[in-house]
């Protein structure tokens, strides 16, 4: 069977958690899989799927700009062929418009490749972190997941080719556009590999 190469953007944030989940998902599916830690543009060559982890979107964006990863990564994402999973800060970086719940419009380096607006820190101080059951609409139908939210964004506007695939309290918390899915929550911090298995299946084609 074909070997799948999964790139994980590894500048800051929850990198090892995603790597662990990718390995478990690959084992569950019986797929041969290699993890590529993406720190520079050349690491993008030959990857079959890409993960943008959570962390701090301002820090990850600034590091992408400094390492020269921003442009080549944006080109790869715009080409739209590679399956992508982005969580939390990673999802913020993919939004075409980003505002902060408290300070409004923010200036930060973005990849800006998906048709949605992300409001950073949407769920406010009191509920900076919480867990809730969610339903997510994937190709094969709806799945139940445990939504782990950590200073999470919400996706307040979705337009164009993008569609919301999960809602919580009247706002979108997951968006899909073509081969890319952006989640406000953290499946890598649960024991459930369903989302990572979805990504690997997409990479298999």
Residue 14 Cβ vs ligand GLN, minimum distance, rounded to whole Å: 7
Q: How far is CA 162 from CA 32, 143, 156, 192, in A?
A: 31, 19, 12, 25
40 is catalytic: no
Q: Positive or negative, the Cα torsion across 99, 105, 106, 109?
A: positive
For ligand GLN, give the closer residue by CB, 31 or 134: 134
For ligand GLN, give the closer residue by CB, 122 or 198: 122
Residue 87 Cβ vs ligand GLN, minimum distance, rounded to whole Å: 7
Candidate list 179, 186, 196, 197, residue with the active-site label: 186
For ligand GLN, give the closer residue by CB, 77 or 89: 89
Continuous segment of H or E residues that includes residue 176 = strand 171-177
Candidate list 17, 117, 179, 188, residue with the active-site label: 188
Candidate list 88, 117, 177, 197, residue with the active-site label: 88
Six-digit token string for 22: 């990718």
Segments in the chain forming alpha helices (H): 15-29, 57-67, 70-79, 89-94, 194-204
Return all residues near 131 (Cβ < 8 A) that are at least 6 apart. Answer: 146, 147, 148, 149
Residue 55 Cβ vs ligand GLN, minimum distance, rounded to whole Å: 5
Residue appearing with tokens 């989302």 = 195
For ligand GLN, give the closer residue by CB, 35 or 98: 98
Site of interaction with ligand GLN (CB under 6 A): 54-57, 88-89, 92, 120-121, 150-151
Residue 10 Cβ vs ligand GLN, minimum distance, rounded to whole Å: 15
Asked if 106 contacts 98 with a C-beta cutoff of 8 angstroms, the reply is: yes
Residues known to be catalytic:
88, 186, 188
């Amino acid at each position: 069977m074909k070997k799948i190469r999964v790139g994980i953007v590894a500048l800051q944030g929850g990198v090892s958690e995603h790597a662990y989940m990718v390995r478990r998902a690959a084992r569950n599916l019986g797929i041969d899989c290699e993890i590529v830690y993406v720190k520079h543009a050349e690491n993008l060559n030959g990857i079959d799927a890409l993960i943008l982890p959570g962390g701090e979107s301002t820090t990850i964006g600034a590091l992408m700009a400094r390492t020269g990863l921003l442009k080549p990564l944006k080109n790869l994402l715009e080409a739209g062929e590679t399956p992508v999973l982005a969580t939390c800060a990673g999802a913020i970086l993919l939004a075409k418009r980003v505002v902060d719940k408290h300070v409004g419009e923010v200036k930060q380096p973005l990849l800006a490749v998906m048709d949605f607006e992300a409001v950073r820190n949407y769920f406010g101080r009191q509920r900076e972190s919480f867990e809730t059951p969610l339903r997510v609409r994937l190709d094969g139908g709806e799945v139940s997941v445990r939504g782990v939210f950590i200073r999470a964004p919400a996706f307040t506007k979705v337009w164009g080719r993008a569609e919301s695939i999960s809602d919580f309290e009247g706002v979108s918390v997951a968006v899909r556009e073509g081969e890319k899915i952006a989640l406000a929550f953290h499946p890598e911090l649960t024991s459930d590999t369903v989302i990572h298995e979805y990504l690997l299946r997409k990479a298999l084609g």
